[in-house]
């Protein structure tokens, strides 16, 4: 670790295939948009020798050259892998988007990683979404560390930021969130701001000066020692309190001096166990410098304190039929089990799958079994096929560097997996296995689209299939009621990226159209109708007459058909024909073209002809009778109502409940949950929550989550129903 009492061991340039899981570190960077994650990754790559002083890789481009959309939008929109080597270890840095719309990419990074690095801006603080991700990591015991960036900001205060982090992340034990270093400030400038030029190691009591662009060590002077004494004592107590040696605290409080080697070893074990969370500072190199401030310390924390893949319990594995399968953790010689954590398309190479290998060793040109991920409800088909994989490579920017193999614990890119999608499992073809999928947020923002032209219509289906194959947080719906193609997204930025990828990557131009909910119709009161279908035009004619009565039923009853014909007025063989006709008409609707539900249709009487009556004639008569009954009746337009649950911080409960009421919602109840949050339950018309995913994020400053589920259809207020009928007439 960077505060060991020896000089740093040096860097080892660009990453290649790892030879043993113990030499691998998989680290995901987490933080809000603008916190500096990508800049930090570039600084770490520079310090590790993977890029040159200009931040360029050897074969062109930068580590952040990954997606054309990211360049245009000036923000990360997808997970990217940057592998580097340090001190004989391969470090897979997983850079995740900070914007909430791309939380699916973050979840994929958490799945692929064994530890998390939370990047916090000294000028922005800790936002609610970062707190929620911390809680997710805590729930699974993932080791974490905190990096404070943007220390060059005028009002940046490392000590204050550390206190904020302890409050935000150390709810159970604030002494588990402590700095390993204190910033070393240079001379004050004309504006009174003293820039951070180095770090003071609290354990080693050494100064690490980065002012020249190269890390230089020196001894602190007496005044500097006094300044760090209190922070050092608190750090040592925090480390010892998590020590597995239960006698160490008593010995320390009794005056015994604990040597640095023991402290560092205890610190590393506490970090790896996920019970101690060190805080560090980092800044990119300036003036073409080789090493960014704090990058050496951070790399040594990763290699010394973060766990190896051997220490991680793999996700649950079963056979394809669902039988549990026990595997030895991260065994390169074990059965092949790998997971696709990201899918992307390259215009020259085709589909590229980023995989994490959990067991066995993956080699080029071998045949693997692809098992599906069980997300058919999102438009992702289940897979159960064999595929021959192409070349294996490790990415760096836009370049793909070939590797000979990928062992358990490592990550790499696999080419030419034409059927595999994000979340799929790769296993041996003669021993197919399936990994338990990770949790994905439900996409709750509907985007209705249609092809711009006939040429686009021909390409739309394939383009949409490729789009959802890359992104398991997106759901594709072909709505049979509204006849709309709907992409369900996580937010507006997510929707914008989807449209841009369709246009630029797959060559499909689409137009967005207003999203329509699935409405229904029902009778408000009893009504009667007579259907007469009589045609005599020479030759074989058509003759069918039927009389029906329609009455409303309770919600959820569907359509009942009752036969009360007496005396054979309608021959028995034609009664099913009448039922078929009225049901077909009910599906088409009787007033505004929406399906009819929750009615009882009773066949009372009719007439038939011995020659001209037929199945088709009575089907037509049944439909005519239902239309006539509706013509003289009051028809209710029914709208879908959703059960909505909102998990929101206590500070925003009032605003959320008021907003739901403004959407014609009925708040059913509330209940307190952990972490100062409240669960609000309500029933809200779906027509009112089309954009709720966007509005709730704005209302709660990104800290609330909600789920929705269909409850039932209810009568729509007359004024809204009339407006929709007028709009439908104008559209037709």
Instruction: For each of the domains in the chain, give its residue range(s) and CATH number, in order of start.
Output: 26-307 (3.40.50.300), 317-435 (2.40.30.10), 446-509 (3.30.70.870), 520-633 (3.30.230.10), 637-731 (3.30.70.240)
What is the 3-class SS of 396-413, one letter each residue?
ECCEEEECCCEECCCEEE
Question: What is the average pLDDT across 665-685?
Answer: 93
Edge-first strand order for the sheet with 181-185 is 181-185, 196-201, 207-209, 216-218
Which pLDDT band holds residue 59 (cuts at 50, 70, 90)? very low
Q: Which residue has the tokens 């890029």?
A: 51
How do residues 551-592 score in pLDDT, each as one tens digit? 999 988 999 999 999 989 999 999 999 999 999 999 999 988
Residue 15 pLDDT grade (very low, low, confident, very high; cuts 50, 70, 90): low
For helices 260-272 and 222-241, the axis angle rounded to 10 degrees is 50
Dump pLDDT digits (tens) for 384-432: 889 999 899 998 767 788 999 999 999 999 988 888 888 899 999 999 9
Mean pLDDT computed over 143-163: 90
Task: Specify whether the CB–CB gap between 599 and 553 falls below 8 A.
Answer: yes
Distance CA 506, CA 726 (A): 38
Task: Specify the pLDDT at position 8.
Answer: 44
The pLDDT assigned to 679 comes to: 96
Q: Strand locations in 61-195, DSSP E?
A: 80-86, 89-95, 115-121, 144-149, 177-179, 181-185
Instruction: Summarize the confidence of residues 305-315 as an average pLDDT.
Output: 91
What's residue 286's pLDDT? 59
Higher pLDDT, 466 or 286: 466
DSSP string for residues in 591-621: SSSS-B-SEEEEEEEEEE-TTT--HHHHHHH
DSSP summary character for residue 324: B
What are the Cα distances from residue 365, in Å, to 246, 262, 362, 404? 52, 47, 9, 11
Strands 24-30 and 115-121: parallel
The H or E element that residue 409 is part of is none
| Of 243, 255, 260, 248, the residue nearest 204 (C-alpha) | 260
The pLDDT of 254-258, averaged and rounded, is 85
By DSSP bridging, strand 399-402 and strand 392-396 are antiparallel
Residue 368 bridge partners (DSSP):
387, 428
Name the band, by pLDDT with cuts 50, 70 and 90, for residue 68: low
Mean pLDDT of the chain: 88
Burial 119-157 (b: 16+ CB within 10 A, else e): bbbbbbebbbbbbbbbebbeeeebbbbbbbbbbeeeebe
- Of 521, 556, 585, nearest to 724 by C-alpha is 521
Cα separation, 288 vs 55, whole angstroms: 9
| Residue 381 confidence class, pLDDT cut points 50, 70, 90 | low
Identify the H or E element spanning 169: helix 158-169
257 versus 383: the higher-pLDDT residue is 257
599-628 pLDDT tens trace:
999 999 999 998 899 999 999 999 999 999
Tokens, residue 13: 């340039």
Please say if the pLDDT value at position 61 is more than 60: no
For the beta carbon of residue 272, count every other beta carbon within 10 angstroms: 18
- 481 pLDDT exceeds 50? yes
606 close to 565: Cβ distance less than 8 angstroms: yes
pLDDT beyond 70 at 171: no
User: Beta partners for 677?
Assistant: 649, 673
In the block, tokens 């009853």 appear at 557
* pTM confidence score: 0.86
Closest CA to 203 of 258, 270, 154: 258
Taking alpha carbons only, the member of 106, 149, 105 closest to residue 126 is: 149
Reported as a pLDDT band with limits 50, 70 and 90, residue 288 is low
At 227 the pLDDT is 80
């Amino acid at each position: 670790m960077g505060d060991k009492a020896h000089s740093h061991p040096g860097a080892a340039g660009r990453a290649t295939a790892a030879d043993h899981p113990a030499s691998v570190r998989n680290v995901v960077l987490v933080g809000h948009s603008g916190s500096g994650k990508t800049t930090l990754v570039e600084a770490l790559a520079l310090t590790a020798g993977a890029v040159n002083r200009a931040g360029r890789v050897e074969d062109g481009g930068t580590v952040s050259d990954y997606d054309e959309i990211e360049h245009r939008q000036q923000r990360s929109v997808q997970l990217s892998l940057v592998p580097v080597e340090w001190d004989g270890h391969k470090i897979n840095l997983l850079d995740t988007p900070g914007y909430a719309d791309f939380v699916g990419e973050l979840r994929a990074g958490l799945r692929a990683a064994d530890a998390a690095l939370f990047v916090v801006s000294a000028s922005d603080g800790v936002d609610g979404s970062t707190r929620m991700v911390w809680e997710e990591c805590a729930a699974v015991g993932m080791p974490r560390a905190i990096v404070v960036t943007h220390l060059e900001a005028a009002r940046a205060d490392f000590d204050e930021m550390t206190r904020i982090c302890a409050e935000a992340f150390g709810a159970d034990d604030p002494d588990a969130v402590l700095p390993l270093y204190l910033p070393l400030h240079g001379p004050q400038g004309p504006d009174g701001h003293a820039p951070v030029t180095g770090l003071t190691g609290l354990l080693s009591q050494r100064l690490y000066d980065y002012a020249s662009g190269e890390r230089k060590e020196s001894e602190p002077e007496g005044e500097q020692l006094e300044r760090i004494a209190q922070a050092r004592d608190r750090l040592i107590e925090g480390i010892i309190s998590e020590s597995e040696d239960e006698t160490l605290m008593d010995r320390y409080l009794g005056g015994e001096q604990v040597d640095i080697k023991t402290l560092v070893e205890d610190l590393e074990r506490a970090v790896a166990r996920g019970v101690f969370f060190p805080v560090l500072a980092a800044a990119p190199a300036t003036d073409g410098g080789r090493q960014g401030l704090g990058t050496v310390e951070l790399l040594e924390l990763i290699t010394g304190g973060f766990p190896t893949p051997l220490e991680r319990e793999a996700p649950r594995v079963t056979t394809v039929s669902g039988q549990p399968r026990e595997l030895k953790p991260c065994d390169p010689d074990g059965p092949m089990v790998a997971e696709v954590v990201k899918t992307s398309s390259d215009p020259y190479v085709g589909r590229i799958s980023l995989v994490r290998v959990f067991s066995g060793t993956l080699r080029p040109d071998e045949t693997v079994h692809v098992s599906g991920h069980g997300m058919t409800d999102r438009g992702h088909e289940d897979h159960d096929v064999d595929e021959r994989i192409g070349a294996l490579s490790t990415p760096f920017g836009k370049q793909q560097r070939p590797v000979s193999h990928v062992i358990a614990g490592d990550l790499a890119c696999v080419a030419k997996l034409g059927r595999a999608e994000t979340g799929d499992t790769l296993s041996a073809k003669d021993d197919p296995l399936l990994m338990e999928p990770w949790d994905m947020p439900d996409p709750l923002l509907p985007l209705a689209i249609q092809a711009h032209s006939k040429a686009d219509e021909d390409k739309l289906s394939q383009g949409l299939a490729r789009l959802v194959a890359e992104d398991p947080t997106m759901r594709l719906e072909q709505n049979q009621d509204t006849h709309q193609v709907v992409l369900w997204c996580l937010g507006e930025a997510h929707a914008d990226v989807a449209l841009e990828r369709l246009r630029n990557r797959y060559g499909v131009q689409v137009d967005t159209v207003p999203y329509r909910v699935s409405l229904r119709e029902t009778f408000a009161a009893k009504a009667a109708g007579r259907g007469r279908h009589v045609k005599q035009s020479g030759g074989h004619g058509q003759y069918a007459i039927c009389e029906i009565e329609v009455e409303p039923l309770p919600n959820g009853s569907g359509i009942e058909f009752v036969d009360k014909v007496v005396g054979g007025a309608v021959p028995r063989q034609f009664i099913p024909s009448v039922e078929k006709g009225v049901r077909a008409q009910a599906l088409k609707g009787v007033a505004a073209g929406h399906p009819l539900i929750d009615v009882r249709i009773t066949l009372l009487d009719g007439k038939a002809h011995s020659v001209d009556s037929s199945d088709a004639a009575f089907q037509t008569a049944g439909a005519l009778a239902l239309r006539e009954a509706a013509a003289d009746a009051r028809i209710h337009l029914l709208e879908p109502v959703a059960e909505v649950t909102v998990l929101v911080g206590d500070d925003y409960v009032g605003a959320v409940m008021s907003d739901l009421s403004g959407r014609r919602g009925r708040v059913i109840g509330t209940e307190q949950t952990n972490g100062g949050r409240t669960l609000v339950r309500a029933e809200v018309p779906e027509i009112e929550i089309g954009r709720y995913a966007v509005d709730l994020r704005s209302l709660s400053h990104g800290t609330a989550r909600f789920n929705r589920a269909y409850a039932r259809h209810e009568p729509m207020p007359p004024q809204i129903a009339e407006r929709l009928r007028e709009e439908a007439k104008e559209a037709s």
